[in-house]
Structure 1
């Protein structure tokens, strides 16, 4: 007797979210690469321009680990787009300060990010865009706000 696959009772939300996220990231990466940035570099520049922030704060905002953040800031420094400086409010802390060239590039990269997002949303009829974005915001702020801790360990059990 041959085993049968189980019947799917709901749309494959994981596939939808994974696939669209992957495609969006690859498009974003290609567009930002044309001006010499990665998505992580863009994220650091924009968040560092908003207010004085340490590498740790920027890593949290960009969902990066410490090693990735160090490599990203090193690349920004090498390109003359940012530099590490002592904090104006805490002498023990060092912040990531964006140079004038970095600020100019951050504005260009934000235009690219906004355009890529608009192009993606352009695939939806106008009346559906707001509904889709509100639904995504509800998921991100609610049910899907935080990952499950130790998910890798649980998956192996």
Structure 2
């Protein structure tokens, strides 16, 4: 008998609803939630597609499709790595920097609004607890024969 709420169901539902809300709000900028993640992570420096895929928790195929969409929209460029000619660095264009700045305001506002549903004295503890779980106990998925499908 389970003594607590269905943690997997609650976390999965919260993630799905938040991702859906972010996706709907980012549509006005012509990007997806995945696209925002790539733009945000690429804006801090020279990162390869592989590194961005790792940071955004995307498989290689999804990363290539996402980069293709961002490149077609004129938001990023693929450039040869100065240290590894097999690798491509993802660089934001001026348009990409403008879009990511606008997107950050949307995302920050959404996060503030979501956390406002909690009492003031519970917000920091909630976020800190999630960070600790993801950095420790829930950091790496276990290998299994039939991996669950991700909603993101």
User: Structures share a fold, TM > 0.5?
Assistant: yes
Note the alpha carbon deviations across 1:82-118, whole angstroms, 9 max, x for none. 1111123333321111100001101111111111111
Unaligned runs of 5+ in 2: 148-152
Structure 2 counterpart of 1:13: 7
Number of corresponding residues: 147
CA distance in structure 2 between the aligned counterparts of 1:137 and 1:107, rounded to whole angstroms = 24
Correspondence for 2:118: 124
For the aligned residue pairs, the C-alpha RMSD in angstroms reads: 1.4
Specify the alignment match of 1:46 in structure 2: 40
| Structure 1 unmatched ranges of 5 or more | 1-6
The 2-side partners of 1:79 and 1:126 are apart by 40
Counterpart of 2:28 in structure 1 is 34
Partner-residue secondary structure (3-state), 2:146: helix
1:145 to 135, 139, 149: 139
Larger radius of gyration: 1
CA distance in 2, matches of 1:10, 1:69: 36
Whole-Å separation in 1 of the counterparts to 2:137 and 2:116: 26
CA distance 1:92–1:15, shift in 2 (3 Å): closer
Separation of aligned partners in 2, 1:151 and 1:60: 22
* Aligned mates of 2:120, 2:3 — CA distance in 1: 29
